[in-house]
Amino acid sequence: MQQHEITPHLFRTEYSKIVAVLCKKFDLRDIEIAEDIAADTFLKASESWPIKGMPENPTAWLYTVAKNKAKDYFKHIAVFESKVKQHIATDEQESVNDLEFDSKDIADSQLAMIFAVCNPVNSAEAQVCLALQILCGFSIQEIANAFVAKTETIKKRLLRAREVLRKDRLHVKVPPAAEITSRLSTVLTTLYLLFNEGYFSKTADLFIRKDLCSEAMRLLLVLTENPLTNTSQTNALLALMCFQSSRIGSRIDDNHEVVLLENQDKNLWDQSLIEKGNFYLINAFESNDVSKYHLEAAIAYWHTTPVAENKWQNILQLYDNLLTIAYSPMAALNRVFALAKVQGNECAITEAEHLNLTNNHQYHSLLGYLYTSVDAQHAISHYQLAIQLSASKTEKQMLQLKIAQLLSPAETRGNVL
């Protein structure tokens, strides 16, 4: 990783950890104070590192600066006396000198933070938005992409949700068992969206953002280590992430171009992650609970099985079940691809066009793929629309390559990513 990339990368992975530890350690209910300390820490890094050079251990440097800034805040800022000190329980107050950013403190603090933010005083959508911003470091634009919503809508939703938490006197502590059970669904949705943004990035030039995928899996592992959150759905979601992550190394070639599933080098697939996916999937099906995560994990399992009898028939049936219990436009599009494998492209085109997702780039990308063997001009038209609608530079390049292949004598091939 180059020096110009290190600060954004660390911001993504460490900012939320600093906020979570500060909030839990000092029982801050005004979360903006912790966010300001974390932001000032990264501001100092952006000013210092280009001049003095990258520290040997950038993460430790950030934790040390955050600790010192917290100490300065509590010592010297008058706001502490008027707005914060009154909210700190005397019997729980600890010295800033005891503040440590060890792995256990970070894990405990982030578990407490995500359940504090996923508070039912806010709507489910507002909870997910807050968690994506506070715990996962999403920008407003990234959250808008995840919800397929306008940035102004998300901005207003976040402001309202923060105000509700402030009035409810936010506590950053792991809630009782009953509250954990009621909030876990929103927590899992948040981590699901976080992983998806990393696996199919819509905002960055990078098509894959491994840091987001890793962060989602790390937080999910924290949930599996707690008996209250180690549920069948948690295991199913972790299985899904393991299966998907196993193919990350083969999805981009040396020229930074997207490699579709059919053309991926299977030797590059991470077999250890596939085995872990199998382990968590077996755990997930030990109960009678079948959620969308169970079905998506089962679909991902079949994708990591290159040669299997009735593979696509099984995948199609799983998509049929998925749409029954948790319909979504993206799941419907993916089902169309499986349908093409089982019943042919012309049948799949009819199904796809019935969805009428004309403002979705993946819809046009799929139709471009389906029309490739049926009507090249229609395929080109849909690929061009997909390019106009996509926000990913890498994806645009892939689509332009498909158009070039259609315009040349060579035949193009396609598959799911």
Average pLDDT of the residues of the chain:
83
Instruction: Please report which confidence band the pLDDT of residue 115 belongs to, taking 50, 70 and 90 as the band edges.
Output: confident
Specify if 152 maps to a domain: no
> Up-side HSE of residue 65: CA atoms within 13 Å toward CB?
22
| pLDDT (mean) for 61-82 | 76
CA 228, CA 181: separation in Å to the nearest integer? 8
Specify if 298 maps to a domain: no
For residue range 119-163, what is the model confidence (pLDDT) as tens digits? 888 887 888 888 888 877 778 888 887 776 889 999 999 999 988
Specify if 361 maps to a domain: yes
Q: What is the pLDDT of residue 85?
A: 54
Specify if 29 maps to a domain: yes
Show the domain range for 410.
328-417
CA 82, CA 87: separation in Å to the nearest integer? 10
CATH number, domain containing residue 348: 1.25.40.10
CA 9, CA 14: separation in Å to the nearest integer? 8
Specify if 377 maps to a domain: yes
pTM for this predicted structure: 0.75
* Number of other residues whose CB lies within 10 A of the CB of residue 384: 15
Comparing 37 with 25, which gets the higher pLDDT? Answer: 37
DSSP single-letter state for residue 410? S
For residue range 311-360, what is the model confidence (pLDDT) as tens digits? 999 999 999 999 999 999 999 999 999 999 999 999 999 999 999 999 99
Specify if 79 maps to a domain: yes
> What type of residue sits at position 162?
R
First and final C-alpha spacing in the chain: 25
Specify if 376 maps to a domain: yes
Using alpha carbons only, give the angle 278, 283, 288 rounded to the nearest 5 degrees.
125
Domain boundary among 46, 76, 101: 101
For residue range 293-309, what is the model confidence (pLDDT) as tens digits? 999 999 999 999 877 77
Per the DSSP assignment, residues forming a β-bridge with 258 are 252
Domain boundary among 82, 101, 120: 101
Q: How many domains does the chain have?
A: 2
Domain boundary among 101, 135, 169: 101
Give the Å distances, CA to CA, from 336 to 5, 317, 348.
Answer: 38, 12, 6
Specify if 285 maps to a domain: no
